Amino acid sequence: MCGIFGYVTDKEEKLGPILIEAAQRLTYRGYDSVGAATISGIKIDLRKDVGKVDAVAAKYNFAEMTGSRGITQLRWATFGEPSQVNSQPHIDSDGDLVGAHNGNVVNNIELRQQFIAEGLTVRSQNDGETCVHAVERYINRGYEFIDAIRLAYGDLEGDYAFVIGRSNDDKLYAFKKGSGMVVGLGEGFTCVSSDLPSILPLTRNIVRPLDGEIVTLWADRVELRSVKDGKLIEREPELVTETMDAVQKGGYPHFMLKEIHEQSQVATELLHLLDGSPEVETLVNKMMSARHLYFIGCGTSYHAALAGSVYLAQLAGRPAIPVLAPQFISQFAPAVGHEDVGIFVSQSGETKDVLNALEAAEGRGMECFGLANVVGSTLTKSTSFCLPLCCGYEISVPATKTFTNQVVTFLYLAYRMAGKSTKALANIPALMEQTLDMVAEQVKAIAEEINGWNDMYCLGYGGTFPIALEGALKLKEITYAHCEGMLSTEFKHGPLSAVSKGFPIVFVAGPTDTNLIISGINEVNVRGARTIVIAEEDPRLRANADDVIALPKSDPQVSALLGVLPLQLLSYHMSVMRGFDPDFPRNLSKTLTVD
């Protein structure tokens, strides 16, 4: 999500080409706008706009930009639509500070209101500008730069990394909280970035700042200080030996595996954003007063909508109708009106089937809201407002982190409608990490054992039924095997005839559904099936199933969400074992813009 790069040299030179190349090496993170700023003496040269790096750089002639310090940023829109004014970097009120960030400052709106009341010049809706003003307000009060940053750090809530410079200065400053940041040391220069790819072609000597640390960059050295007390921190540089391809993938062999392991991080960022979003309260009120409530999506997004409808009923006692977008048009749209509310779900925000359903709903006067990962997409512009998923760029075609954040959003809304404290959801990211650690080796071993099968079933019940559908879809998408997701109690109504010796059947079981799942296990066990259960540890399941992939203890709703992680890993490993590229399966596209 977004990418920043800062560069400090010991002389005035053409920095434009360096900034362009750094930006190009961060494009894999995803972005909708690009900008660059150079500092030469008292002059700050700022150029930015919506578009791709090459196009914006050519339009504004980035290559001619000169100075002794430079900053470039690729923005993935979250606060403020994609526009020139919301593009980064940003300057302060007087134009002598310039900075850029990645991540989300969740109290952005509150801080902007404070800055306006204090007389600062606020030009955009973007939280990157908020970071600049957060430092500016304390500079204006007479604080030294490091102390101004320390105080600003306490004001900025969320997860972010930020770099800032000042005219007539020879340094850049950077600090982080939750988001990635790497510092590079070269001959006659230093640099800082949100990720290694923009640094490695320049130097392989790096320092990794931690949360709560401030980095000061001169051309010949860097200095780390603690935000807490301002004291110096000693840390020796390290030598990076990975290839560029490995670095872009975070050391993982495929983007899908990297994105599976990013789910805890993006869930943390999403929960912070939802806690700070005033739109959540509005949406909850609309949902509570709706005559009928619809959750509309396709594919993975439909599975998340189905999970959301279960959560809403279980926690808030409120029904919601989950429906595939094309079916909504014929089955529900003719009957909806202004008293009804729909939440339209799409990873890309450009899914044609979802947009068609949205058009039909709006034509009948229904109140329409969105849930999408791409701010500025058609869905975000066509609904009353759209909650962002905060997943950054998902390169692998099979959705992983976008699915889990969709489910987390619906769970968050269900908690709010039920009047439950959402603080209880703060442990979800840690449980995700724990799950992946617990199941990784076992799932890979099971994948090797069942990989010879081209037919299988994935079964769930209640809150795990949507998870079973999603797991089956992942297996179909990237292994090309036929895996059918189904309600476990439906299996005896026909599909049971498909079972033969060793036939793999995966059960996803919630902690309250053990007795029912045991019945399902035994009706296929006696016919020779290989039964694999994903569930919390339970001796009864151990006694009845061939394999139990144990999840950490949690509540039934969170347990269902955690159940998708082993299924993602299972599909990934089977795909690789079959010699397929899980990131780019045949016949599929990330964004489906056709009927």
Residues labelled catalytic: 2, 590
- Structure tokens belonging to residue 422: 């959402």
Side chain identity at 413, as an amino acid letter? L
Side chain identity at 104, as an amino acid letter? N
Task: Report DSSP letters for 166-201, one per residue.
Answer: ETT-S-EEEEEEBS--EEEEETTEEEEESSGGGTTT
The set of residues, in sequence order, having a beta carbon less than 8 Å from that of 545 and lying 6+ positions away, is: 507, 521, 531, 532, 533
322 upstream amide cis, omega within 30 of 0: no
**Strand, helix or coil for residue 529:** coil
Structure-token match 């100075």, residue found: 67
DSSP class of 45: E
Side chain identity at 341, as an amino acid letter? V
Q: Using N-to-C axis directions, what is the helix angle for 145-155 and 127-140, rounded to 10°?
A: 130
Beta strands in 84-188 (DSSP E): 90-91, 97-105, 158-166, 172-177, 182-186
| Mode of pairing for the β-strands spanning 66-75 and 182-186 | unpaired
Q: Report the run of H or E that residue 509 belongs to, with start and end.
A: none
**Strand, helix or coil for residue 154:** helix
* CA 314/CA 317 separation, integer angstroms: 6
Beta strands in 325-385 (DSSP E): 341-346, 367-372
Side chain identity at 588, as an amino acid letter? L
Backbone angles phi, psi at 513, to 5 degrees: -115, 15
**Strand, helix or coil for residue 34:** strand
Q: Is 476 exposed, middle or buried (0-12, 13-18, 19+ CB in 10 A)?
A: middle
The set of residues, in sequence order, having a beta carbon less than 8 Å from that of 73 and lying 6+ positions away, is: 2, 3, 4, 5, 23, 34, 35, 36, 48, 87, 88, 89, 100, 101, 102, 128
